[in-house]
Amino acid sequence: MSRVLKILIIEDEVLIAEFIKDILLSFNYSDIQLAHNLTQASLSLNNFLPDVVFLDIRMTGELDGLELAHQINNTYKIPFVFISAHSDKEIIAKAISTKPISYITKPIKEADVFTAIELVKQKINEVNFLHIKNGYENIKLFFDEVLFIKSDDNYIHIFTTDSKFTIRNTLEWFKEQSPKNYFHRTHRSYLVNINKITKTKAKSVFIGSVEIPVSRGNHINLD
């Protein structure tokens, strides 16, 4: 199962935002939110935690999109796609300086949206972190800091080099979000970071002093 993309469309023209949403729905992307002003955009960025943003350069007559692009780069560090009706060289130069993953122009074309989302998927495959909620905080969890994950009914406990986070989700979900071949399911209740294993035994592996069970058929070949 492929990773489900969370997509935020920031566009003050409602019909255009809905049109982009309909295109994305036709590509089987359904986890989509719309924001039509900067206040809604900030709330969605903080609470929805999108994987990618489609961002209009000019909203309510100002180049708000450029300012928001810098904020996305500095705070959220997720890919974004610029939407613009402008062909002005100066505006394009400013937009490109913020390093969008793609740039699509109005009127919106289905092929351009498709190309943009494919570039986003390629970029996300290179991403080495995951956004999670820790109480009221949004945490950027780097995969290379995760030692192992333990399932506990409807929750998982994520153990890192210096912390433990508990979230309501499953081991299957976590593995889907992580880079391919990074974590191994040793047991129905455990995922381990292959790179953190320090010792193996017939029925367990060790990460430092922590012994983690290995059930039949789930052995790890570290060669």
160-207 per-position pLDDT tens digit: 988 999 999 999 999 988 877 789 999 999 999 998 999 999 899 999
- Give all domains of the chain, ordered by start, each with its CATH number: 7-124 (3.40.50.2300), 143-213 (2.40.50.1020)
**pLDDT tens digits, one per residue of 91-116:** 888 888 999 999 999 999 999 999 99
Q: What is the pLDDT of residue 78?
A: 87
Q: CA-CA distance, 65 to 82, in Å (whole number)?
A: 8
Q: Residue 213, preceding bond cis, omega within 30 degrees? A: no
Long-range pairs of 206-209 with CB within 8 A, sequence gap ≥ 24: 207/147, 207/148, 208/147
pLDDT recorded at residue 62: 59
* Interatomic CA distance for residues 214 and 148, integer angstroms: 13
Question: b vs e for 37-55, b when ≥16 Cβ sit within 10 Å of the residue's Cβ?
Answer: ebeebeebbeeebbbbbbb
Tens of pLDDT, residues 33-63: 999 998 899 999 988 888 899 999 887 655 5
Rounded to whole angstroms, the Cα distance separating 101 from 127 reads 13
Q: What pLDDT shows up at residue 54?
A: 97
Pairwise CA distance, residues 37 & 44, whole Å: 11
pLDDT at 8 over 80: yes
Burial class (CB in 10 A: 0-12, 13-18, 19+), 92: middle
Query: Which helix (DSSP H) or strand (DSSP E) does residue 156 occupy?
Result: strand 155-160
Query: pLDDT value at position 1?
Result: 34
Q: What is the distance between the alpha carbons of residues 29 and 23, in angstroms, rounded to a whole number?
A: 9
